[in-house]
Amino acid sequence: MRTSQLYLSTLKEAPSEAELISHKLMLRAGLIKRLGSGLYTWMPLGLRILRKVERIVREEMDKAGAQELLMPAVQPAELWQETGRWDVFGPQMLKIKDRHERDFCFGPTHEEVITDIARNELRSYKQLPVNFYQVQTKFRDEIRPRFGVMRAREFLMKDAYSFDASFDGLKASYAKMAVAYANIFTRLGLKFRAVAADSGAIGGDGSQEFHVLADAGEDLLAYCPTSDFAANVEAAEALAPTAPRAAATETLRDVETPKQTTCEDVAALLGISIERTVKLIALVAADGQFVIALLRGDHSLNEVKLGKLAGMGDFRFATEEEIRSTFNCPPGFLGPVGIAADIKVIADRTVAAMSDFVCGANKPKFHIAGVNFGRDLPEPALVADIRNVVAGDPSPDGKGVLELCRGIEVGHIFQLGTKYSKALNATFTDVDGALKPFEMGCYGIGVSRVVGAAIEQNFDERGIKFPQAMAPFEVAIVAVGYHRSEAVKEAAEQLYAELAAAGVDVLLDDRNERPGSMFADMELIGVAHRFTIGDKGLADGVVEYVARAGGEMQKVALAEVPAFAK
Ligand code: ATP
Ligand code: MG
Ligand code: MG
Ligand code: MG
């Protein structure tokens, strides 16, 4: 490919709606264009990257014995009514009607459809095990689409579904997928961690998530550096010996990024009045319940007075000790308390839930966010991510202490068992002649999210540093003076032809631009390796080499470049 033929649309500044670095860089590099909330066009350059991810995913799925098929994106309501999920899936599901007023949805996932295939196609244990996968567009009407393709409404997922005759079979199919996933993320060149996503057992073999490690990740992970314990924080909490489970996480995690609001705004929303000297420092939640923490005086921990709303407009102040005992907080739990000039409010739904709570008689359990976001925690942080598992807690396996880190969920594997096969009456005849429901597993990868996650982990002030496997091009040849120097043109064309013939994914920058802006573009879009050809170097028979990953510029003899680039 030549830049003169490539549609490049790089920008100096990111559009202001982008908060996260990956979103900004994807827009600046012209990889994606926004169509509407959570809806993105993959431009040619971006699509090259997406396709590279897809290719690796497909290769590893095929290698693991899975078979690709393609199911419809639009699915009839009847199937979802059979499993009962039509009513319980909730507002994430985009429901649509056809011209006959029949109900459909745009698939947020495909368990129902694949189980329907299985009940019609798979009749005998002899056909098992089998694993079907697809790479298909999903639609989830996320309450707050954000971060570009990382939390989009329409996105690309690889979803696989395994069918086995027995639970042991399911465990084997699941284990194969765990290996395939590790291979995929390794080949993509990403730093990742597989974590238990349920509390079934230590090591959580019923469900695991694969997270790309990045400070901006929405998910909090707990792991033990001296053992192989690793779990998402919800699973870790359920196993933690000391801490009560925060049952509200699911709801809260899906409730969205805290929005910045002043105390006055919150007071107005709640219909209460507060003294100006009182800072409302946090809204806190667990078990679906909410309290407000208030900060007074000189903001030091000892001076902190925390209270809960005993009723609308009625504060009851309490000492730190009292709060600890009332709410069963472990020691050290309230710190560090920072000063937030503005508090973070989880928007409207929280306020509604809070009003419910403060008017009710429930005794709350809670977690205190006395935290100054941006200073104590990375932005954007969810208030709901303040947990009762903290760094230094004993690991549930008893083999050390926990550390916490942030991750972006890029994959999720799950032992479904017979949940869907029973609901849809999907059975096969086993060796003994008995009719049995399939043991199922499901396995997802957010293919489009992977691209954003990779950037979140690999960038610098000049742009994206894609790992080679995902780079839009492996090699760029920047030909400085292509349009005025025959020697440069000839050498560049020859090198380009040789690299292309050797199977290198190479981009020849043959534009008539200033070298600085050509370099800037190649760096912004994340080409992995750059060779610069200019008259001066050619006189000595050399070109300049720079790796996007970092390192010094090197001079390489022109004749050695093809071998060097391999
Ligand atoms: P999340 O917790 O981030 O909402 P999820 O647990 O709802 O994700 P799954 O149902 O496990 O998602 O779907 C499989 C994969 O699809 C996820 O691991 C993630 O990589 C990807 N994914 C889910 N929702 C989105 C989205 N809105 N945009 C992009 N990718 C997504
Ligand atoms: Mg979700
Ligand atoms: Mg999740
Ligand atoms: Mg998931």
Centre of ligand 4 to C-alpha 205, Å, is: 15
User: Nearest ligand to the C-alpha of residue 217?
Assistant: 1
Centre of ligand 3 to C-alpha 156, Å, is: 16
Centre of ligand 2 to C-alpha 263, Å, is: 30
Token duo for residue 425: 């009456």
Residue 234 falls in which region: left (phi positive, over 0), alpha (psi -120 to 50) or beta: alpha
Mutate to test the pocket of ligand 1, among 449, 450, 451, 456 (most ligand atoms within 8 A of CB): 449
d(CA 232, CA 174): 19
| More confident position, 70 or 248 | 70
- 293 has pLDDT over 90: no
For ligand 1, atom 12: residue with the closest CA = 412
Residues flanking ion ligand 4, Cβ below 5 Å: 412
For ligand 1, atom 26: residue with the closest CA = 151
For ligand 1, atom 11: residue with the closest CA = 412
Residue 444 Cβ inside 6 Å of ligand 1? The answer reads yes
- 268 has pLDDT over 70: no
Per-residue CA distances from 43 to 7, 183, 367, 557 (Å): 8, 28, 44, 36
Q: Quick one: pLDDT at residue 241?
A: 56
d(CA 495, CA 477): 8
User: Is ipTM > 0.95 here?
Assistant: yes
Q: Quick one: pLDDT at residue 388?
A: 58
Q: What confidence tens digit (pLDDT) does each residue in 306-327 have?
A: 333 333 233 334 444 554 454 4
Q: Quick one: pLDDT at residue 85?
A: 94
Q: What confidence tens digit (pLDDT) does each residue in 25-75 have?
A: 999 999 999 999 999 999 999 999 999 999 999 999 999 999 999 999 999
**Candidate ranges 263-272, 343-352, 471-480; pick with highest mean pLDDT:** 471-480
Centre of ligand 2 to C-alpha 254, Å, is: 7
What is the share, in percent, of the chain residues with pLDDT greater than 90?
65
For ligand 1, atom 18: residue with the closest CA = 411
Mutate to test the pocket of ligand 1, among 20, 412, 416, 450 (most ligand atoms within 8 A of CB): 412
d(CA 502, CA 496): 10
Residues flanking ion ligand 3, Cβ below 5 Å: 409
The DSSP string of 184-214 is HHHHTT--EEEEE-S-SSTT-TTEEEEEEE-
Centre of ligand 1 to C-alpha 446, Å, is: 6
Per-residue CA distances from 140 to 82, 83, 158 (Å): 20, 19, 15
Find out whether 1 and 508 touch, Cβ atoms under 8 Å: yes
- 406 has pLDDT over 80: yes
Q: Quick one: pLDDT at residue 381?
A: 28
> Mean per-residue pLDDT for 201-208?
66
For ligand 1, atom 8: residue with the closest CA = 409
Atom of ligand 1 nearest to the CA of 408: 3
The DSSP string of 487-552 is HHHHHHHHHHHHHHHTT--EEEE---S-HHHHHHHHHHHT-SEEEEE-HHHHHTTEEEEEETT---
| More confident position, 365 or 413 | 413
